[in-house]
Chain A
């Protein structure tokens, strides 16, 4: 079975704090893809990153960084020096490499509130 678990339902931090959003996935596929999306209050889903199962290199993009560890089936997302504009719901998603539909299997999302 394919499953994504985001155990943190809500996180609240004060601006400039670092925050890590956890994502644990389950799949028996050898080829798969992992995604993070941001959903601000306005509603649109904004693509942040895609990772394939063969690339375990961590990635940094400005204040954002991602830690992919196949050994623990985790794909965690860290925001450094958080800002109020980072307040949103963040979704981790899994896509099977064999998928012929492009279906994304979403986690339940983590609501991040960054207070000034």
Chain B
């Protein structure tokens, strides 16, 4: 089945140790998003790619970076994770027809813990 796959489901890293989260999709969607969701909160958009064009949200910390080497894959890099970065990270995709009004398809998420 076509889907959005995130690996790993659970990631533990040490304070300050760089970590990379992975997302892949078989939907061939142009747009890929990364969200951060802390406990009992709504998802918060960090950034997105429209094809190869990177779009950062104004309040996304510099500590968070992203790479999209091809249509299928997108990575979230946290350069120096702090305790406040512990959260669920959700990847989503969409195929724009008109002004981005298509529903976003989400992966299962990666739950990141910081020791």
Q: Which A residues lie at the B interface, using CB under 8 A? A: 31, 33, 35, 37, 42-47, 50, 52, 91, 95, 97-104, 106-109
B60 within 8 Å of A by Cβ?
Answer: no
A98 and B99 form a contact (CB under 8 A): yes
CB neighbours of A101 from chain B (8 A): 45, 48, 55, 100
| Distance between Cα atoms of A51 and B21 in the complex (Å) | 32
B109 and A47 form a contact (CB under 8 A): no
Query: B67-75, B76-84, B86-94: which one contacts chain A?
Result: B86-94
B104 and A106 form a contact (CB under 8 A): no
CB distance from B9 to the nearest CB of A (A): 8
CB neighbours of B23 from chain A (8 A): none
Q: Which B residues lie at the A interface, using CB under 8 A? A: 31, 33, 40-43, 45, 48, 55, 57, 88, 90, 92, 94, 96, 99-109, 111
| Distance between Cα atoms of A102 and B29 in the complex (Å) | 13
Closest 9 CB pairs of A and B: A102-B100, A106-B42, A45-B106, A43-B109, A47-B103, A44-B108, A33-B101, A99-B100, A50-B103
A91 and B42 form a contact (CB under 8 A): yes
| Distance between Cα atoms of A98 and B101 in the complex (Å) | 10
Q: Is the interface of A mostly helix, strand, loop or mixed?
A: loop
A103 and B105 form a contact (CB under 8 A): no
B101 and A44 form a contact (CB under 8 A): no
CB neighbours of A107 from chain B (8 A): 42
CB neighbours of A42 from chain B (8 A): 108
| Distance between Cα atoms of A52 and B41 in the complex (Å) | 25
Contact pick for A46, options B94, B106, B111, CB 8 Å: B106
CB neighbours of B90 from chain A (8 A): 43-45
| Distance between Cα atoms of A97 and B57 in the complex (Å) | 18
| Distance between Cα atoms of A103 and B57 in the complex (Å) | 10
Chain B CB within 10 Å — which of A101, A107, A108 has the most?
A101
User: Known: A102-B31, A106-B43. Contact between A45 and B101, CB under 8 A?
Assistant: no
Could you jot down 21 A-B contacts, CB within 8 Å?
Answer: A33-B101, A42-B108, A43-B88, A43-B108, A44-B90, A45-B43, A47-B104, A47-B106, A50-B101, A50-B103, A91-B42, A95-B100, A97-B99, A100-B99, A100-B100, A101-B48, A102-B33, A102-B96, A102-B104, A103-B57, A108-B42
